Chains A and B, each alone.
Chain A
Amino acid sequence: MIKIAYFPGCSLEGSSKEYNESLLAVSKEFEIQLEEVHDWNCCGATAAHNLNKVLSISLPARTLALAEKQGFSEILVPCAACYSRLLTAYNELNKDAALLEKVKEILEIDFSAKVKPFTVIDFIQKHIQPKLKEKVKKPLNAKIACYYGCLLVRPPKLVEVERYEDPLMMESIVKELGATPLDWAFKTECCGAGLSVSRTSTVGKLCSKILDDALSRGATMFAVACPMCQSNLDMRRRNANVFLNEKADAPVLFITQLIGLALGLDKKELGLQRHFVPFNLEIFDKPIPKETLGKSKKVEEV
């Protein structure tokens, strides 16, 4: 049994509960124990880094420090926003000794900031993918648009992802699940992120472009690895459909849910009933559509 430090963050306890459920379910299948960092706190996104630098470093630093005290050297961070904040803190603290001293004083914890955060995609690549093929019981018959959004691959200097404008990590994962990854143009475009709350129509517009590009190229569903991406493409589907000629009904699944399905796990265990855009297993029985183009209305610039 491998033991890995785990920082779920707020999303995975609330709006993206199914990400948490599916991640834990899949990990269990691969005999990996995700151990929640005891007494973790808010990462600070997105309020803190707009207000105060030291605060924006100290908040995620506390979680890094706790993980270090609890004997871990790296930490799994599923939420892209949390990941970005923790990675920023990790980098800043490692290049600025004075800042580290200051943060230690603020937190009243003595730590070295050596716990490195990593994403669910990193996690799958390292721990799941090598044994994935042999464990797949139900290959997925789907054409999947892998959508990365912004913070999983950016800023490139911090995240160190190759091909940050056209990443291919999730593509290689869904291929092993038996699905066909989609070659499309909008995989790192903006979903509107936090405007979901304040300007839903803007999010609708942005998401409609993402949906339109993927669907017009023949996607049957989406794979994501970020709670924000998922909720904007899923929960704000109604707002997006306003801008589309044909209502889009392609479900948006977390990559862990897709893995779970291929492993033959129960729908409920993967939290698949929680989506706004309903997901039915019949979707895998339908033939994969050929490329159809030009569904969208003319959308004026946001």
Chain B
Amino acid sequence: MSRIGVFICHCGENIGGTVDCEKVAETAAKYPGVAYSVDYKYMCSDPGQNMIKDAIKEHKLTGVVVAACSPRMHEPTFRKAVSEAGINPFLCEMANLREHCSWVHLKDDSTTEKAEELVKVLVEKVKRNQPLEPIKVPVTKTALVLGGGIAGIQAALDIANSGHKVIMIEKSPSIGGHMSQLSETFPTLDCSQCILTPRMVEVAQHPNITLYTYAELVGLDGFIGNFQASIKLKAKSIDHDICNGCGDCIAKCPIKKIPDEFNAGLGTRTAVYVPFPQAVPNKPVIDRENCTYFTRDGKCGLCAKVCTKGAIDYSQKDEIITIDVGAVVVATGFDIKGTDFFPEYGYGRYKDVITGLQFERLASASGPTLGEIKRPSDGKVPQNIVFIACAGSRDPAKGIEYCSKICCMYTAKHAMLYKHKVHQGKASVFYMDIRAGGKMYEEFVRRAIEEDDVNYIRGRVSRIYEKNGKLIVKGVDTLLDAYPVEIEADMVVLATAGIANEGSEELAQSLHISYDQHNFFAEAHPKLKPVETNTAGIMLAGACQSPKDIPDSVSQASGAAVKVAALFSKDELTRDPLIAYVNRCGPPTYSTCVGCFLCVSVCPYLAIEKEQIKDRNGNLIKEVAKINPGLCQGCGTCVALCRSKSIDIYGYSHSQVFAEVMALFNERSLENV
């Protein structure tokens, strides 16, 4: 005979404001098998937990139902509490009265009735729960860091410095990410390269870090502590073990007109290339999509002829390697909208309407103009420059409702850099609001306005068109008395919206992590778990989660690294034993499994194998399915498919689920178990 305790939580107003919790507790007390029932304002608090522990002892409870929030939120909390009172933690279940009831319904008698039914169902389930022991699994103490931008670099260095191995993969030929493209950084105007490149070198030289550039993740299997990552190493066509980085091949490459990604399309590069002079590794790769040796069947081959080391290897093939890792830090960064996204600003047809990232390259000492502000169309120094903040961002009509966060600050920086380089020039900024929340940020913007005499105009720009070699910027000044503004500019810089990388949706799917409607990766909790994902063992760092500036990216990366280090501080992990099993029984059947192995074909985790049952003499009696507890994730697909009902799941057995369903339909089925 079960003795179940039911604990109804008000969750402050969250549940109590909609559901009559007192009534639910009273009703629950009458369910067969319920020995104790009570409601309380915050069941997860210390007094609430003690209430549960005391009741277990006092009423000799054999099972517990906590009716509160989602089990995602507090199941571990309550299971820990009941185990402290001496009950197996798997004899505690949660009824979700918040997400499944009070948050989605209005205050009404029927809402309370639904809450009562949710409790009733769980009471029937917990009556049939069995004590279970967590499964212990070993931890592979190697972290995989995806992306070699500043977030990935920081996470990798922090993990490596805490004594664990790190595999870093970067899809482009060099690490450094967007930060390596920046000129100076706000709010201090220190040079981006000067603070970044030493860290890049550190990554390359760190004994605990293995760096794979020109590489992409193609798949991730397994679970926390025990992932298997498949990584594609794209053919570099150059043997980096032999190459000494002399650059002769680059100098001789005849394909010179490829838009340079590092310079945001403002310059050109060759087909065999190093993205930028300070690249890590500082050895070239051959871009096969543009190299004539590959596009025109072996024509050219000049680089192989000039290479004194014989490092050029056209026959290299893409290679897939598989690596065991215990945790993953996703730091794949972001992208920005191009100028072609803006019909009103010319659909990208005006050469002198550029993006913020392109301006960074113009202002950078390593850029195509060596740091001189020259406009792309004719190389003249613009005497009148206009910056447009919120280009695309905060614009629901353009499908981007969010604030891209970094633009206010970098636009102020751009205007400042321009004024520092072109003293007599005029700089104007069109803005919606100035969002300068951050240490020394507001002061920085004021400096641009007050000391560097940047003309800030609060209003939007409705159109840009080109006339007489000038860009006519038509906007409005909405302060004081709204009036139209027309500026004849030489160059316009759009602070275009920060967006998720192309392919981030597919990456999220292959990592089994969530992503939002804009394809930014989703954190497990917006406030309390900002670096974890919903998949245990996978952390987020940097702008792949949402647009972020450098300090925020670095902080988050260090946070992710700590989570990884904490995970690696244990030799074993425990995981819930809610996995499938194939029944076994005595002779002559041994198991109801008939060996059809349909389950093998559907298991997404390849967790089912064949087992031979033999007699004492070693003669085969029958072949049945066997589930590997280390691989099974308890998804239940095999259970649904098993024709002879030979597979069941611990914690979600047929008898438990049927009891739950029957509880809703048939009062008489509530037998005393």
Using a CB–CB cutoff of 8 Å, the interface residues on chain A facing chain B are 163-166, 185-186, 213, 216, 293-294, 301-302
B438 interface residue per 8 A CB criterion: no
Write the chain A residue with the least CB distance to B468: A293
Complex Cα–Cα for A270 and B578 (A)? 82
Is B483 among interface residues, defined by CB-CB distance under 8 A?
Answer: yes
Enumerate chain B residues within 8 angstroms of A166, measured Cβ to Cβ: 343, 346-347
Residues of chain B with a CB closer than 8 A to A186's CB:
465
Give the Cβ gap from B289 to chain A, nearest Cβ, in Å.
Answer: 29
Is there a chain A Cβ closer than 8 Å to B231's Cβ? no
Q: Which residues of A contact B465 (CB under 8 A)?
A: 185-186
Q: Is B570 an interface residue (CB 8 A)?
A: no
Taking A165-B347, A213-B467 as known contacts, 4 extra A-B pairs with beta carbons closer than 8 A to each other, sorted by chain A number, are: A163-B343, A163-B347, A166-B346, A294-B468
B346 partner residues in chain A, CB cutoff 8 A: 166
- The residues in B between 416 and 473 inclusive whose CB is less than 8 angstroms from any CB of A are 463, 465-468, 472
Majority secondary structure of chain B interface residues (helix, strand, loop or mixed): strand
Complex Cα distance, B668 from A285, in Å, reads: 98
Contact with A along B330-373 (1 / 0, CB 8 A): 00000000000001101100000000000000000000000000
Closest to B343 in A: A165
Q: Is the interface of A mostly helix, strand, loop or mixed?
A: loop
Indicate if the CB atoms of A185 and B347 lie closer than 8 Å. no
Residues of A within 8 A of B483 (CB): 301
Interface centre among A164, A165, A216, A302 (most CB of B within 10 A): A165
Identify B467's interface contact among A163, A185, A301, CB under 8 A: A185
Question: Smallest CB–CB gap between A224 and chain B, Å?
Answer: 20
Q: Given the complex of chains A and B, what is the CA–CA distance between A213 and B465 in angstroms?
A: 11
Q: How far is the CA of A301 from the CA of B487 in the complex (A)?
A: 13
B contact residues around A216 at 8 Å (CB): 467
For the complex, what is the distance from the CA of A69 to the CA of B466, rounded to whole Å? 50
CA distance A113 to B386 in the complex (A): 48
Residues of A within 8 A of B207 (CB): none
Q: Residue among B343, B344, B346, B472 with the most chain A CB within 10 A?
A: B343
Contacts of B466 in A (CB 8 A): 185
Nearest 8 pairs between A and B by C-beta? Answer: A185-B465, A165-B343, A165-B344, A293-B468, A301-B484, A166-B347, A164-B343, A163-B343
Q: How far is the CA of A186 from the CA of B466 in the complex (A)?
A: 11
| 5 A-B pairs in the complex with CB atoms less than 8 angstroms apart | A163-B347, A164-B343, A165-B343, A294-B468, A302-B484
List, in ascending order, chain B residues with CB within 8 A of A165's CB. Answer: 343-344, 347, 463
CA distance A274 to B468 in the complex (A): 35
Contacts of B472 in A (CB 8 A): 185
Residues in A neighbouring B344, C-beta threshold 8 A: 165
Question: B486 contacts which chain A residues (CB < 8 A)?
Answer: 301
Residues of B near A164 (CB, < 8 A) are: 343
CA distance A166 to B465 in the complex (A): 11
Q: Which of B344, B465, B468 has the most chain A CB atoms inside 10 A of its CB?
A: B465
Contacts of B463 in A (CB 8 A): 165, 185
Instruction: With both chains docked as a complex, state the minimum distance between the C-beta of B369 and any C-beta of chain A, in angstroms.
Output: 28
Of all chain A residues, which has the CB nearest B486? A301
* Cα A185 to Cα B483 with chains together (Å): 21
Q: Contacts of A294 on B, CB cut-off 8 Å? A: 468
A216 to B472, CA, bound (A): 15
- Which residues of A have CB within 8 Å of B468? 293-294
CA distance A302 to B474 in the complex (A): 13
CB distance from A203 to the nearest CB of B (A): 17
Nearest-Cβ distance from residue B29 to partner chain A, whole angstroms: 48
**Bound CA span A185–B350, Å:** 12
Q: Which residues of A contact B467 (CB under 8 A)?
A: 185, 213, 216, 293
* CB of B226, distance to nearest CB on chain A (Å): 50
Q: In the assembled complex, how far is the CB of residue A205 from the closest CB belonging to chain B, in whole angstroms? A: 12
In Å, the complex CA distance between A272 and B472 comes to 36
Question: Which B residues are in CB contact (< 8 Å) with A301?
Answer: 483-484, 486
- Closest A residue to B347 by beta carbon equals A166
Query: How many Å from the CB of A302 to the closest CB on chain B?
Result: 8
Closest residue of B by beta carbon distance from A212: B467
Please name the residue on chain A nearest to B485 by beta carbon. A301
User: What residues on B are CB-neighbors of A213 within 8 Å?
Assistant: 467
Bound together, the chains give a CA A302 to CA B483 distance in angstroms of 10
The chain B residue sitting closest to A164, CB to CB, is B343
Q: How far is the CB of B367 from chain A (nearest CB, A)?
A: 30
CA distance A226 to B349 in the complex (A): 27
CB contact list, B474-511 vs A, under 8 A: 483-484, 486
A185-B486 Cα distance, complex, nearest whole Å: 14
Q: What 1/0 mask marks residues of chain B from 379 to 418 whose CB sits below 8 Å from any chain A CB?
A: 0000000000000000000000000000000000000000
Taking the closest CB of chain A, its distance from the CB of B283, in whole angstroms, is 44
**CB-CB nearest in chain B for A216:** B467
The residue in chain B whose Cβ has the minimal distance to the Cβ of A189 is: B463
Complex alpha-carbon distance, A123 and B584, angstroms: 74
Residues facing A in B199-237 (CB within 8 A) are: none
B508: shortest Cβ distance to chain A, in Å? 29
Complex CA–CA separation, A284 to B392 (angstroms)? 44
Q: Which residue of A lies closest to B472 (CB)?
A: A185
The CA-CA distance from A293 to B483 in the complex, in Å, is 27
Q: Which of B463, B466, B483, B484 has the most chain A CB atoms closer than 10 A to its own CB?
A: B463
Q: Give chain B nearest CB distance to A300 CB in angstroms.
A: 11
A294–B344 Cα distance when bound, in Å, is: 23
B478: shortest Cβ distance to chain A, in Å?
15
Specify which chain A residues have a CB less than 8 angstroms from the CB of B343 in the assembled complex: 163-166
Contacting residues, chain A, for B347 (C-beta < 8 A)? 163, 165-166
Q: Closest B residue to A155 by CB, please name it.
A: B397
> Min CB distance, A67 to chain B, in Å?
32
Give the distance in Å from the alpha carbon of A185 to the alpha carbon of B466 in the complex. Answer: 7
A213 CA / B486 CA spacing, docked (Å): 15
**Bound CA span A35–B55, Å:** 85
Q: Which single residue of chain A is at the shortest CB-CB distance from B466?
A: A185
Minimum CB–CB distance from A182 to chain B (whole Å) comes to: 13
Q: Given the complex of chains A and B, what is the CA–CA distance between A186 and B472 in angstroms?
A: 12
Name B561-591 residues within 8 Å CB distance of A.
none
CB distance from A286 to the nearest CB of B (A): 24
Name B483's closest neighbour in chain A (CB-CB).
A301
- Most central of A166, A293, A294 by chain B CB within 10 Å: A166
Q: Complex: how many Å from CA A302 to CA B466?
A: 21
Q: Fill in one digit per residue for B23-65: 1 if any A CB lies within 8 Å of its CB, else 0.
A: 0000000000000000000000000000000000000000000
A259 and B290 CA atoms in complex are apart in Å by 46
Tell me the bound Cα distance from A193 to B493 in angstroms. 33
Nearest-neighbour CB distance to chain B for A85, whole angstroms, equals 22
How far apart are A82's CB and chain B's nearest CB, in angstroms? 25
Give the docked Cα–Cα distance between A301 and B477 (Å): 13
- How many angstroms from the CA of A165 to the CA of B348 in the assembled complex? 12
Q: How far is the CA of A294 from the CA of B467 in the complex (A)?
A: 9
Rounded to whole angstroms, the CA-CA distance of A216 and B347 in the bound complex is 22
